[in-house]
Amino acid sequence: MSFALVLLSIPWLGAQADGNRPDAESLFNEYRLSFNSGHVVLSYTVEKSGQTRREGTYSIWYSGKQYRCDHAESGKPLTRVVYCENCERENHYVHLDAALLRPESRSVPLTVQLMKSTDGGRLGADFRFDPKLVGVGPSSPDTYGQIKLSDLLCRTDRTKPTWEKTLWRGKNASKMAYQMNGGASFHWITFVPEMANSIVKREFEVRSQRPDGTSLPIKLTMECELAQFGVKGLWYPREVHIRHRRGDAITEDSKLVINEAKFNEAIPASTFTLAGMDIPVGTEVNLLAPGASGHYIFDGKTIARGSSPMRLIYQDKPPSEPGAWSRSWFSILSITLGAMAILAFGLFFYRARSASAKR
């Protein structure tokens, strides 16, 4: 037997050589799950029909239980939002809203709070952007805080996948097709074995019923440009293009550009501290933790007790819009003056009747 035949007799090597990999999905899932720590910097653009184009950047770090995400809209530094889990305090999250650093703001810009709500729910998840999901599904980047890798790969509530050998830019590839149980949606995913079985294209289609009984196809597509990142040369998207169509109309066009990515490499411990988040010294802190009371500030290193607050603090219900409080005071003044007028009129009427009776 020749050396080549010996190699092809090894199941996974032979499958990788011809691109027919029925296990490509599970191998890719394991590959992404092996990213135990990471740092990703990416920029995005999102265009939705009838809405303003949005652009911004995400900087993400994670290691074990600790996770940090900095987000800002392009060209708007005061839109910076920092979200960090298990930073400074176990089972708490940190949330900084730079827009509230303005002197005229009446809300506290920095919050430290338990991650679990009193009803057992999960707080703060909406601020997450999981880098393991990049280049996996055609969902809008806005939803990356609500979905998990298991929602997109190796699901059991679907038909048995079919596989076909194909090519992607001259490289051997495997294309998987399946339907969700009940035939509600159709899915096609293309994997490239020599790129760590990474996904290069994914399509999703569902048909919605119109009032007249006809169906309208809704199609989501995602295409990835892959590259090797970090000292370990791990495969990860360099660009991701996502498009949503409803019939012939494009309802969303999104693009992610990965500027930096590294996985399973050391992350400085200071990344997950308040001192490492570029927070102005003296920033007021809304500390929602057991036993906490009074006024707190960030002293440049950690959370410390402060003197009397520099601004009015409305922890539970800040004014919803400028001028709300002035309108409230105007309403109270109007009611008070009205009550005084009624009282004065009643007193005048009473005296008039008393004088008339005496006559």
Query: What are φ and ψ of residue 105, in 5° steps?
Result: -70, 140
3-state SS, 323-345, equals CHHHHHHHHHHHHHHHHHHHHHH
Distance of CA 75 to the CA centre of its chain: 20
- Mean local confidence (pLDDT), 310-334: 43
**With 60 as the cut, is the pLDDT of residue 2 above it?**
no
4-26 pLDDT, tens digit each: 333 333 333 333 444 566 899 99
pLDDT of residue 9: 33
pLDDT of residue 186: 94
pLDDT of residue 17: 42
Cβ neighbours, 10 Å, residue 236: 26
Q: 14 in a domain, yes or no?
A: no
Determine what percent of the chain falls in helix, strand and coil, rounding each to the nearest 5: 25, 40, 35
pLDDT of residue 50: 77
Least Cα distance to 193 among 4, 8, 13 occurs for 13
Q: 142 in a domain, yes or no?
A: yes
**With 60 as the cut, is the pLDDT of residue 77 above it?**
yes
**With 90 as the cut, is the pLDDT of residue 116 above it?**
no
**With 90 as the cut, is the pLDDT of residue 358 above it?**
no
Q: 293 in a domain, yes or no?
A: no
Question: What is the C-alpha separation between 117 and 179, in angstroms, rounded?
Answer: 37
* Mean pLDDT estimate for the chain: 81
Distance of CA 258 to the CA centre of its chain: 16
- Mean local confidence (pLDDT), 311-323: 42
pLDDT of residue 326: 40
pLDDT of residue 65: 92
CATH number at residue 125: 2.50.20
Q: 181 in a domain, yes or no?
A: no
Beta bridge partners of 208: 216
Q: 129 in a domain, yes or no?
A: yes
The pLDDT-based confidence of 245 (bands split at 50, 70, 90) is: very high
Question: What is the C-alpha separation between 297 and 284, in angstroms, rounded?
Answer: 4
The pLDDT-based confidence of 205 (bands split at 50, 70, 90) is: very high
3-class secondary structure, 356: helix
Q: Which domain holds residue 83?
A: 21-152+223-269
- Burial class of residue 222 in the structure, from the number of CB atoms within 10 Å of its CB (0-12 exposed, 13-18 middle, 19+ buried): buried
